[in-house]
Amino acid sequence: MDPSIDQLVAVSIKEFADLPRIPFDLYVRLPNGKFLLVIKAGMAASTRRLSSEAQSHLEEVWVRKTEYRKFVTRTVHTAQTFLAGPPHNIPPKSKASILAMTANSVFSEIERFGFSNESYSHARAITNSIVKMVDQKPELSHIMSGLTLSQDRLVDHCIAVSAIAAMIGRELNWQKDQTIEKIALGGMLHDIGKKELSPELLNKPRIDYTHDEVIEYETHPYRGVQILQSVSNIPDDVIAMVYEHHENSIGQGFPRRLREVRMNPLARVVAIANAFVNLTLPNINLSKAKSPLEAISYMENVQGRPYNREAFLALKTLVDRDHKNKKVKVS
């Protein structure tokens, strides 16, 4: 019997590559609202063929809810294999957008089915690819330029925070891969608590918030902690990064107004990466995104640099190097 809409989940065609042997059934929605099985598990899929079956330009395909996790596992695995294998000359911009697209599937998985061991291992797989990308020493602005394309700004934001935090960690000469992987994971998951806030609140500029809305917004770090605690083996550092990513050195952050001395060392880095990305990627609170150089100057001269000193200087070095490299290429 054909499945009904409540048994299926829509998947954007952008998340879906033309690959041999898709391990699950795929459906398209016909103009009459019914669903048609177009690819049986084990068959090759092509987006062109799907569009012709649906007799229209196709934006999405549908998978059974029970097979959705399999879909995400396949997507994450494909992205990992693609980014690790030849050709090794994939530009950082493309790598960053592939990672954002993959993270989009994982965030949807968390939204639909809650945070679980599986979604945790998917998030770890993505952050391992982010660390590999960072270790090839890409320029910061090349990564950022690949992160303005996705439909979901929160996903782009989280991938950017993850990558920038890992870059700062390496610039600080943190040698242990485990530490860099943890910081990338903290960056990726830091705003997971926003998944529980209403889209109306998230799409409203913070300057227009009422008092109650500010209180509601400021619950997202703690909500994030609660979401992560549903899985047993999350490192304490990752929990701390989620909880403390809006704290700052002078004790004027939220939710606990911690001073730097009481902040987790990895959270200090994620907090600065978060502030930087909030200034440089388009978002509802910015009339115009700043260049990396403008953002550093703003953090220093307007915000008064309420961040960890070493982490700020490491970020500034990354931005300056990026700017010099660009100038050399132009001249």
Q: Which spans of this chain sit near Fe ion (rule: CB under 5 A)?
A: 191, 274
Report the residue number, 74 or 245, with the smaller CB distance to Fe ion: 245
Distance from C-alpha of 46 to C-alpha of 13, rounded to nearest angstrom: 10
State the minimum distance, in angstroms, from the CB of residue 158 to Fe ion: 7
Distance from C-alpha of 51 to C-alpha of 31, rounded to nearest angstrom: 12
Report the residue number, 248 or 274, with the smaller CB distance to Fe ion: 274
State the minimum distance, in angstroms, from the CB of residue 236 to Fe ion: 19
Residue 275 near residue 162, CB atoms below 8 Å = no
Longest Cα–Cα distance of the chain, Å, equals 65
> What's the number of CA atoms in the CB half-sphere (13 Å) around residue 187?
37
How do the residues of the chain divide into helix, strand and coil, expressed in percent and rounded to 5?
60, 5, 35
State the minimum distance, in angstroms, from the CB of residue 200 to Fe ion: 17
State the minimum distance, in angstroms, from the CB of residue 221 to Fe ion: 6
State the minimum distance, in angstroms, from the CB of residue 191 to Fe ion: 4
What DSSP line would sit under 158-227, residue for residue?
HHHHHHHHHHHHHHTT---HHHHHHHHHHHHHTTGGGGGS-HHHHTS-GGG--HHHHHHHTTHHHHHHHH
